[in-house]
Amino acid sequence: MKGVYSPPGDYVYFRSQVPLHKIPIGTKQWRYYDFGPKAVPPLICLPGTAGTADVCYKQIMPLSMKGYRVISVDIPSVWNHHEWILAFEKFLDAIDVHHIHIYGTALGGFLAQLFAQHRPRRVRSLILSNTFLDTRNFSAEMPWAPPFIADSVDFVVSQVEMLSREDLASRLTLTADTVSVGPLLLTDSFITIIDTNDYSGIPQQLKDEVSERYLNARQAQLKTGGDFPFLSRPDEVNLHLQLHLRRVGVEPQPDLVPGISKGGGGGSSSEESEKKDPEDPPNDDKGSLDNPFAEPQLPPAPESSESHSSEDQLISNAKFCHFGDGDTTLKNQHTITTEFVMRLGREMFSVHLLSFYMASLYISLNCNLKLRPVV
């Protein structure tokens, strides 16, 4: 390894402001962030195979500062889709959340659709990104490992290394277990699809199937972003999340957001005082951090605009973000640096693949043992 991985400054600031919650529910250990006014129906973020609750930190804080409540969770060790539905429902009951909006990427988007299918009364809307409808293509090609993605980041690799072998094996099992999403009671108007047009671990054919299934859903095509647009293109993703929540009737309550001082003193949605988590990244030599998530307000709409002009302004900005990749101003707005995005070296990538390969072998061994005839 070349040196020690150092988390980015905005992530260090995020961890200093937002507490990590860990609760046992039955045999499952849930790890999650919950930030923003509790009076607002929450947006729940479900990561992909290689993600943890931390990978959506660029959505949690910016959206909560605008008055939304965001909950980002780890997918616990579950070994089939029926177990996932029951476990996720128990988690929602435990944190006293009944009606939800889900933002799911890759495997998280697939699990979100399954939960909406089997628990339609709880899911108010879906935002799906780089996801799929069934797992037949994956199960036919086990053992499976993600391809090299140029936009992969050290941050995601560091999160993969935090996962146990059991966690990785269970997520790969969910990907390989042959299951497909059935019809949803949720209408297409309550679904938004956010896909990237460059490198992605999800084949384009599978993403097209999602678009064809939900023909009347809102669709946003990001020209770049790879597998992790929530990290590499957070401004655009956050715009589309706000557009979606506004469209489905979620009203933010910025007046309930506690003030965050320039030195980093802010409030949390949790009423409990928690001790410093051992997983908190070191903040040596960081001093008093400014808020890296404080963004300038969107330019005001013209005076002649009607009441819906603010949404049109968001759409205009989102479209600009899609196709204006030559604009230097847009590049300067990204808090993620080029070094952070592209610094994935051979050694880190080897560890990344090794983790998935070991998990795949673990699954294959279990399958062989189950299929071995009893003598």
Sheet-wide strand order for 191-196: 20-25, 28-35, 70-73, 43-46, 100-105, 123-129, 191-196, 218-222
pLDDT in the model for residue 170: 85
Distance of alpha carbon 203 from alpha carbon 240, whole angstroms: 23
Measured in residues, the chain has a length of 375
pLDDT in the model for residue 135: 84
pLDDT in the model for residue 167: 81
Distance of alpha carbon 121 from alpha carbon 22, whole angstroms: 26
* 152 backbone dihedrals φ, ψ, rounded to 5°: -60, 150
Q: Provide the Cα torsion 208, 244, 302, 62; round to 10°.
A: -110
What six digits make up the tokens of 144? 């499976």
Which pLDDT tens digit goes with each residue over 66-119? 999 999 999 999 999 999 999 999 999 999 999 999 999 999 999 999 999 999
* CB-CB contact of 147 with 106 (8 Å): no
CA angle 324, 329, 334 (to 5 degrees): 90
Q: Which residues of the chain have pLDDT under 50?
A: 1-2, 140-153, 261-276, 284-288, 296-310, 315-364, 367-369, 371, 374-375
R_g of the chain, CA atoms, integer Å: 20
CA angle 309, 311, 315 (to 5 degrees): 110
Distance of alpha carbon 294 from alpha carbon 279, whole angstroms: 25
The count of other CB atoms within 10 Å of the CB of residue 328 is 6
What six digits make up the tokens of 83? 């177990």
Contact residues for 310 (Cβ-Cβ < 8 A; gap 6+): 298, 301
Superfamily of domain 9-256: Alpha/Beta hydrolase fold, catalytic domain (3.40.50.1820)
* 105 backbone dihedrals φ, ψ, rounded to 5°: -115, 135
- SS3 label, residue 102: strand
Domain edges within the chain: 9-256, 339-369
Distance of alpha carbon 230 from alpha carbon 217, whole angstroms: 20
Strands, DSSP E only, in the chain? 20-25, 28-35, 43-46, 70-73, 100-105, 123-129, 191-196, 218-222
